Amino acid sequence: MITGGAGFIGGFLAKTLAAQGDTVHLVDNLARGRHDRFLSELLEMPHVALFERDLLQPEALGDLHTDYTQVLHCAAIIGVQHVLRHPYQTLRDNVQLLDTAVTFARRQPRLRRFVFASTSEVYAGSLELGMLPIPTPEDTPLAVAALDQPRTSYMLSKICGEAMVRQAGLPFTIVRPHNFYGPRMGMSHVIPQLLDRAHRAAPGGILEVFSVDHRRTFCFIDDAVEMIVHAAQAPSCEDQVLNVGSQSPELTIGELAEVIVRVVGKDLKIVPRPATPGSPMRRCPDMSRMAALTGARARISVEEGVRRTYDWYRPMVFEGGEREVAT
């Protein structure tokens, strides 16, 4: 079972597992995910089904069977702008969503793994206090950022979630995603936003870029899903916390913008703009634990991944009527 299965990560996880021949059940209330062409095609695959349920209701999964061997919990309130507008709702609802999933998982006598999608944001407080090594290993102590800051609510909901999963008595794997990108991810992320601006810019025009000197590594969704699937299935990953992402190359947002310009194929001048409030200067995971336990690693280059992303967004969203997943 995959909660949040109509979303970006959940949808691609479901597609990969179904292609392996697994029976995959998705749970989503479709409040933010989209019943789009991708989801329709996914539901046409053998042994794939969607249950439209609201996990904020504690008994939402009460009538489902008790023969699941894996539960992958990807459902959450995310998106910086949404979190900033609704910090209390973010903290309250993310905890409730997880509690419903954990309660359901505890009813599964043959459960082999509960996978919890945490976030790289759990490192934000450590970064603010100057305690964060980069690349960042999973055993880095987690510090809590200022509680009066709205953005802290999302990070805190995931730290609380990690503690809940560790104490739930389930065989678990916690994954911490780092800057996933790809088709159908939504427009509230830097790569689709820059692709959109570059696509709409006139040749010889400008491309405004915020946080131009901030540094990130980026992981294409196909690589990310491969790592999560390996982590969910490998006995060595039981009761482990794992970064999921790419350790290199570490690019500035300005360098990412140069890739965007090349992919879109326009002569554009990159114009730096101020840093986005709350955006960390650097974020780069240490991927040695994932590689050692699963052998999986990011393989798709940023240029290739951005090209694949643009090749989907251009006809489907920028020039077509498709609505991308809201995340």
Give the pLDDT score at 323.
63
Give the pLDDT score at 70.
98
DSSP labels, 13-80:
HHHHHHHTT--EEEE---SSS---HHHHHHHTSTTEEEE---TTSTTTTTTS-S--SEEEE------H
> Residue 314 gets which letter from DSSP?
I
What are residue 297's phi and psi, to 5 degrees? -155, 160
Tens digits of per-residue pLDDT, 96-108?
A: 999 999 999 999 9
Average pLDDT of the residues in 14-38: 92
> Residue 180 gets which letter from DSSP?
E
Nearest C-alpha neighbor of 191 from the set 307, 322, 75: 307
CA atoms within 13 A on the CB side of 320: 13
Average pLDDT of the residues in 68-91: 92
Is the backbone peptide bond immediately before 135 cis, with ω within 30 degrees of 0? yes
Bridge partners of 2, per DSSP, are 26, 72
Give the pLDDT score at 80.
80
Cα separation, 179 vs 245, whole angstroms: 7
Determine whether 86 is exposed, middle or buried from the number of CB atoms within 10 Å of its CB (0-12, 13-18, 19+): middle
Q: Nearest 5°: CA angle at 121, between 116 and 127?
A: 140
The two structure tokens encoding residue 246: 């790419």
Give the pLDDT score at 117.
98
Give the pLDDT score at 105.
98
Band of pLDDT at residue 187, cut at 50, 70 and 90: confident
The two structure tokens encoding residue 196: 């959109």
Average pLDDT of the residues in 157-179: 98
> Residue 171 gets which letter from DSSP?
-
Band of pLDDT at residue 324, cut at 50, 70 and 90: low
Residue 65, Cα to own-chain centre: how many angstroms?
Answer: 28
Give the pLDDT score at 108.
97
Task: Work out the number of other CB atoms within 10 angstroms of the CB of residue 18.
Answer: 18
Average pLDDT of the residues in 26-32: 90
Under 8 Å between Cβ of 162 and 241: yes
Tens digits of per-residue pLDDT, 238-267?
A: 999 999 999 999 999 999 999 999 999 999
Average pLDDT of the residues in 302-310: 98
Measured CA distances, 93 to 8, 75, 107, 130, 204 (Å): 19, 10, 22, 30, 46
Task: Work out the number of other CB atoms within 10 angstroms of the CB of residue 68.
Answer: 20
Cα separation, 75 vs 265, whole angstroms: 36
Tens digits of per-residue pLDDT, 111-155?
A: 999 999 999 999 999 999 999 999 999 999 999 988 999 989 999
Decide the pairing of beta strands 70-73 and 2-3: parallel
Band of pLDDT at residue 280, cut at 50, 70 and 90: confident
CATH 3.40.50.720 for domain 2-181+219-245+282-299: yes
Band of pLDDT at residue 93, cut at 50, 70 and 90: very high
pLDDT surpasses 70 at 233: yes
pLDDT surpasses 80 at 11: yes
pLDDT surpasses 60 at 327: no
